[in-house]
Amino acid sequence: ELTQEQLSLLNYILDAYNKYRIPLDMAKNLLQEQFSADENFILLTEMATSHVQVLVEFTKRLPGFQSLDHEDQIALLKGSAVEAMFLRSAQIFNRKLPHGHSEMLEDRIRKSGISDEYINPMFNFYKSVGELQMTQEEHALLTAVTILSPDRPFVKDVLSIERLQEPMLEVLHTFCKLHHPHNPQHFARLLGRLTELRTLNHHHTEMLMSWRVN
């Protein structure tokens, strides 16, 4: 079972995660308007910027984050922003959307000018996250674990970050055991998605380059 302290931590993270959203108007644009490839590029760029802004707000609420060295805070956010964005978009993509919206979203992304070489692994990732049928709690904790990864480039105080990440991993582990008693591999599978995210992060720079060239 989760201890009282762990339960408080979980609820706190979940609450912060639920508030972490891009403005609704921007999300509506994505589904309602018809844009040219250029306008698609600008809209997706604005959404990415907005995503980083709300991600920072979520991250500020992670217990202990604000007591970290300021440059380490930036190194953690810089290292994880792309992964958190893919994780978040995987969650949105796997949600039950109104009829036709998933197709429209996929179509818009596919027509944004990014090569299939980069688009396909992204949709494969979305599908592999979808198969896990993650709860909101699992998404919140996995995002926190991703952000508080001590092995990001330019991090100085690895130990302090490990101390913040560990309780999140413990809560996630216990939560998985409680909610998936018949699937002992669930926790390991969640962590496996983090490995996939690292690969997507690695290819992200090349993906942006191909987007710009196109």
Partner 1 sequence: PSGNSIGLEAIIRKALMGKYDD
> Considering the rule CB under 8 A, would residue 161 count as an interface residue with partner 1?
no
CB of residue 135 vs partner 1: minimum separation in angstroms? 27
CB of residue 49 vs partner 1: minimum separation in angstroms? 6
Please identify, using beta-carbon distances, which residue of 96 and 213 lies nearer to partner 1: 213
In sequence order, the 6+-apart residues with CB closer than 8 A to the CB of 123 are 106
Task: For the chain, report the end-to-end CA distance as a whole number of angstroms.
Answer: 52
Please identify, using beta-carbon distances, which residue of 86 and 175 lies nearer to partner 1: 86
> Considering the rule CB under 8 A, would residue 205 count as an interface residue with partner 1?
yes
Phi-psi region of 23 (alpha: psi -120 to 50; beta: other; left: phi over 0): beta
Alpha-carbon gap, residue 141 to 44, rounded angstroms: 26
Q: Tell me which H or E stretch contains 51.
A: helix 37-60
CB of residue 85 vs partner 1: minimum separation in angstroms? 10
CB of residue 166 vs partner 1: minimum separation in angstroms? 24
Please identify, using beta-carbon distances, which residue of 6 and 50 lies nearer to partner 1: 50
Q: 9: buried, middle or exposed (CB in 10 Å: 19+, 13-18, 0-12)?
A: buried
Two tokens, residue 138: 């699992």
In sequence order, the 6+-apart residues with CB closer than 8 A to the CB of 25 are none
Two tokens, residue 128: 């592999």
Residues 52-91 close enough to bind partner 1 by CB under 8 A: 52-53, 56-57, 60, 70, 73-74, 77-78, 81
CB of residue 21 vs partner 1: minimum separation in angstroms? 15
- The residues binding partner 1 (CB under 8 A) are 49, 52-53, 56-57, 60, 70, 73-74, 77-78, 81, 205, 208
